[in-house]
Amino acid sequence: MNNVRNIILAAILTIAMTMPFLTRAAGHDEGGVNVKEVIFHHLEDGYGWEVPFSHVYRIALPVIVRTQDGKWVSFSSSRLSKLVEVPDTIMGGTMKVAVPQIVTVENGDTDYHFVLAHESKHKNKIVQIFPLDNGVTQSMVENIAALSDDGIADGYVKFDGTYYREYRPFDISITKNVLALFISALIVTLMVLSVVRYYSRKGMKAPRKGMGFMEMLIDFIYTGVIKATLGKKAKKFAPFLLTCFFFILTMNLLGLIVIFPGGANLTGNISVTLVLAVLVFIVTNVTKSKHYWKEIFWPDVPMFLKFPLPIMQFIEIFGIFTKPAALCVRLFANMMGGHMIVITLTLLIFIFAAFGALATGGSVVISVLFTIFMLALDVLVSFIQAYVFTLLSTLFIGMSHDDGHSHDTVNEGGNQPASIDI
């Protein structure tokens, strides 16, 4: 019991000591914290990977873009900003802050200028900038910006008080999320190869510790989900479905780790979950049976429901796309929601700081306890969401291979029927 108390006390003291630094990073608006800005800052992608507990220093990543005239250029993301010292109004003295700057890249006889846009339609994206031309003046762009709802002139970016004509280049930069995807894929590959290497060396000897946990997960998903649903076709789709499970699980767990290589909000990014859902959509519809399309275009329902008005056909075709859409949104919403709750609970400390020392102390205790609870819950949710995605994907694939004669299939090596109805 004393050990638990010591851990909680240490956590409270750590947060209390780092509070000034976190408050600086969050930014102030007359002593307050912009909660929305801080939350989305932590959830969105970036051209650099923040060093733990620092919003100034970042791990530089390569920027690769195609310019307006069709040439490819690359440079380090560290060039997008520079460190300058400014007065520290909270702690006294000075502190370093990252200030955006224009990047000039030479390619042949041409200089290309880029900047990380902030006051632009392409906020937080790299844009190529040009001086104003065709008789357009600064005052004219300011008038255009003043007439818009968001105060931004379309086609122009404001940087350091000056407007430039902007061009959004084709961008294949290695961003934080892209690097995190590579790391997740590498981890999954190493885990799978370690299992293969173990059985190639020691035959059918039961593994222990971490390898035993891997075997338990593989057997749980394969036997309890894939084989129970697909029966004799389980071996055909097991590699794809098991890869989905471990890839999603790895991304979920890495997203809960604060320090590198964790911290990237991959499954809370709808672009990532959309690609996973599209892959399931392709596998489901490319490997389908003939009966699958028969049920789509001429289902076994009363004639007036499918002719002359193709009511059921419309519903079935619509269902082809809603199934992967549900996979995409379910995973995205659950994981992003978990990250947002944890960040919001942490920000309660700074929100209640405006009410005095007593409120701040109470909010620290409550925030720490609830954050620890939510992180533990997010670990469980990470497993559940990976399992649910794999389960639903297996069911969708199983439905596409229904032969129309029976919904019960005898499993390999067993007599347990497997239902593919949902």
Q: What is the pLDDT of residues 15-29, one digit of tens each?
A: 444 444 444 443 444
Q: What value, to the nearest 5°, has the Cα angle with vertex 158 and ends 153 and 164?
A: 85
Token code pair at residue 120: 């632009």
Beta-carbon contacts of 292 under 8 Å, excluding residues fewer than 6 positions away, are 399, 400, 401, 402
pLDDT of 109 > 80? The answer is: yes
Q: What is the pLDDT of residue 34?
A: 67
> pLDDT-based confidence at 14, cuts 50/70/90?
very low
Q: What is the pLDDT of residue 20?
A: 43
Beta-carbon contacts of 152 under 8 Å, excluding residues fewer than 6 positions away, are 119, 120, 121, 145, 158
Q: Identify the residue with better confidence: 103 or 8.
A: 103
- One-character DSSP codes across 211-270: HHHHHHHHHHHIIIIIIHHHGGGHHHHHHHHHHHHHHHHHHHHHTT--STT----STTSH
Q: What is the pLDDT of residue 3?
A: 53
**Burial letters 255-271, b for 16+ CB under 10 A, else e:** bbeeebbebbbbbbbee
Strands 170-171 and 408-410, how do they pair? unpaired
Q: Is 412 left (phi over 0), alpha (psi -120 to 50) or beta?
A: beta
Q: What is the pLDDT of residue 336?
A: 86
Where is 96: in which H helix or E strand? strand 94-100
- Backbone Cα Rg of the chain: 27
Tell me the pLDDT tens digit for each residue of 51-101.
776 777 888 899 999 999 999 999 999 999 888 888 777 666 777 888 889
**If you search the block for the tokens 């007065």, which residue do you land on?**
87
Q: What is the pLDDT of residue 184?
A: 94
Beta-carbon contacts of 12 under 8 Å, excluding residues fewer than 6 positions away, are 364, 365, 368
Give alpha helix (H) positions in 148-233. 176-202, 209-221, 228-230
Q: What is the pLDDT of residue 174?
A: 93
CA-wise closest residue to 181 among 192, 191, 189 = 189
> pLDDT-based confidence at 253, cuts 50/70/90?
very high
Q: Give dist(CA 48, CA 79) in Å, integer.
A: 11
Tell me the pLDDT tens digit for each residue of 351-404.
777 676 776 777 778 888 888 888 888 889 999 999 999 999 999 998 887 766
Q: Give dist(CA 66, CA 4) in Å, integer.
A: 55
